[in-house]
Amino acid sequence: MQNRTLEIGVGLFLLAGILALLLLALRVSGLAPTASTDTYKLYAYFDNIAGLTVRAKVTMAGVTIGKVTAIDLDRDSFTGRVTMQLEKRVDNLPTDSTASILTAGLLGEKYIGISVGGEETLLKEGGTIHDTQSSLVLEDLIGKFLLNTVSKDAK
Amino acid sequence: MRKISLIERVRRFGYGGIDVMAVFGRSALFLFHALLGRGGIGGGFGLLVKQLHSVGVMSLVIIVVSGVFIGMVLALQGFNILSSYGSEQAVGQMVALTLLRELGPVVTALLFAGRAGSALTAEIGNMKSTEQLSSLEMIGVDPLKYIIAPRLWAGFISLPVLTMIFSVVGIWGGSWVAVDWLGVYEGSYWSNMQNSVTFVDDVLNGVIKSIVFAFVVTWIAVFQGYDCEPTSEGISRATTKTVVYASLAVLGLDFILTALMFGDF
């Protein structure tokens, strides 16, 4: 009898451990069981990707539709090439869509926002978004602002 | 006071070094024999279940209580700091990352060393000093197989499980403070957490850490018991050593593991 309660206790303990791992996987890390097969790849070239990281989300109208999978430098044009995986269900992006690097909140993470264009032709697997807007770099802004005030003073 | 010659000092230093190396060698051989020697755990599953109960289940209360409180404190502190930047919705992400990467494995291992490790050392040390271990050997039963191996395996299994329970309970405690008490929006608490926590990098690395800690803490505890001087003072010294060595090993290893996992080498 004593052995039985002991074994039940251990069984519950191990079950609690498995449950905890499941909770960590599903609730905490948001590991969704959807496979990554139903996605397609798009490229975008940015003058400055400052602060964007791999795994950053790609959104459209605020809804997450994909993520950044790779960032590298394009040797010929000296621009940053961002590779994105977008969900297959959003396969109707016109070719003149705009990709811009945005910031969530004042100090938040960087992410890519895509706004739709008006072309008839659609972006396909491996396509490139040409119309891009680079990340807002605070130092550049301050630099421009200072330059403006200086030139005003000179007049 | 007699003056000690230089060569005598060197000799004593060498003696100490040989002593330390001998302990390392003995403990490695001990571990090897207990885990791999002559066919696994003696007495089968029953002994392991009994040890899992006394090592794992009995540690559950302290782990759960400290997990809740640590999660609550993290949320409170994080909220205070983050709200001065106006980003208090990031508190969920802070609590989860801190618990999963660092505090979960480390604090659980420290508590485990104090709660279960010291008990293991004292139990085995007492068995040794009352000559139960040698009488087992006399009747042809291998104490490494029947006494040591089940306790080692119980430790290896329990600590990772306890760590995961600790993290979950801590995150839950954090949400209790942040969402229900301080009024952080529940959706942003969880979604910020899910955006920043990744399963492989954060959850699995934490589990790997806890497996390493389980190995080290249980090994130290069981070996100190087995290797202790069979006297009352010997047992008390061995128990102290278990807690001190295990805590130091956990903290030191944690730095190394963190550097390897998150250091981008």
ipTM: 0.76
Nearest CA in chain B to A15: B161
Residue-wise DSSP of B162-231: HHHHHHHHHHHHHHIIIIIIS---HHHHHHHHHHH--IIIIIIHHHHHHHHHHHHHHHHHHHHHHHS-SS
User: Quick one: A79 and A51 in the same domain?
Assistant: yes
Which residue segment(s) compose the domain that A5 sits in?
A: 1-33
In a domain, A52, yes or no: yes
A143 assigned to some structural domain: no
- Verify whether the Cβ–Cβ distance B161 to A31 is below 8 Å: no
- Name A4's Cβ contacts closer than 8 Å, sequence gap at least 6: none
pLDDT value at residue B265: 61
Question: How far is B34 from B145, CA to CA, in rounded Å?
Answer: 6
First to last CA, chain B: 53
Q: Is the dihedral of CA B159, B163, B165, B169 positive or negative?
A: positive
Query: Are residues A11 and A63 located together in one domain of the fold?
Result: no
Looking at the fold, whether A44 and A15 belong to one and the same domain comes out as no
Q: Are strands A131-133 and A98-103 parallel, antiparallel or unpaired?
A: parallel
Smallest Cα–Cα separation from B159: which of B109, B100, B120, B117? Answer: B109
Kindly state whether residue A146 falls inside one of the protein's structural domains.
Answer: no
Contact B124, B227 (CB under 8 A): no
Reduce the DSSP state of residue B37 to 3 states and report it. coil
At residue B3, φ and ψ (nearest 5 deg) are -80, 130
A51 and A13 in one domain? no
Whether residue A144 is contained in a domain is answered as: no
**Residues A52, A118 share a domain:** yes
Q: A15 and A45, same structural domain?
A: no
pLDDT at B72: 93
3-state secondary structure of A104: coil
Q: Cβ of B197 under 8 Å from any chain A Cβ? A: yes
pLDDT attached to residue B146: 82
Contact A28 B197 (CB under 8 A): yes
B198 lies within 8 A of chain A by CB: yes
The Cα–Cα gap between B132 and B129 comes to: 8
Q: Are residues A6 and A46 in the same domain?
A: no
Pair (A57, A103) in one structural domain: yes
A89 and A13 housed in the same domain: no
pLDDT for B1 equals 58
Judge contact between B262 and B101, C-beta under 8 A.
yes
Chain B residues closer than 8 Å to A17 by CB? 160-162, 164-165
Residues A86 and A29 in one domain: no
User: Domains in chain A: how many in total?
Assistant: 2
Residues A46 and A118 in one domain: yes
A17–B160: do the CB atoms touch at under 8 Å?
yes
The pLDDT of residue A31 is 66
* Cα gap B100→B67, rounded to integer Å: 12
Interchain CB distance below 8 Å, B87 and A108 = yes
pLDDT of residue B186: 77
| Nearest in space to A93 (alpha carbons), one of A144, A31, A44, A153 | A44
Long-range CB contact pairs, B86-91, < 8 A, 24+: B86/A105, B86/A106, B87/A105, B87/A106, B87/A107, B87/A108, B88/B178, B88/B182, B88/B184, B89/B184, B89/B185, B89/B188, B89/B189, B89/B192, B90/B192, B91/B174, B91/B178, B91/B184, B91/B189
Count of CA atoms in the C-beta half-sphere (13 A) of B157: 24
Is A153 a domain residue?
no
Does residue A152 lie in a domain region?
no
Q: Is the dihedral of CA A73, A77, A80, A81 positive or negative?
A: negative
The minimum CA-CA distance between A68 and chain B, rounded to whole Å, is 13
Q: What is the pLDDT along chain B (265 residues), one digit of tens a residue?
A: 567 788 888 999 999 999 999 988 988 888 888 887 665 555 667 788 888 888 888 889 999 999 999 999 999 999 998 888 777 778 888 899 899 988 999 999 999 999 999 999 999 999 999 988 889 888 988 888 888 888 988 999 999 999 999 999 999 999 999 888 888 777 778 877 887 888 888 888 899 999 999 999 999 999 999 888 888 899 999 999 999 999 999 999 999 999 888 876 6
Output b/e per residue, A112-129; b: 16+ Cβ within 10 A.
Answer: bbbeeeeeeeebeeebeb
Q: Are B57 and A9 in contact (CB under 8 A)?
A: yes
Chain A environment of B164 (Cβ under 8 Å): 17, 20-21, 24
Q: What is the pLDDT of residue A128?
A: 86
Residue type at B109? A
A98 and A50 belong to one structural domain: yes
Taking the C-alpha atoms of residue A69 and residue A54, their distance in angstroms, rounded to an integer, is 5
The DSSP symbol for B113 reads I
The nearest alpha carbon in chain B to A6 belongs to: B53
Residue stretches of chain A with pLDDT short of 70: 1-2, 30-37, 105-108, 154-155
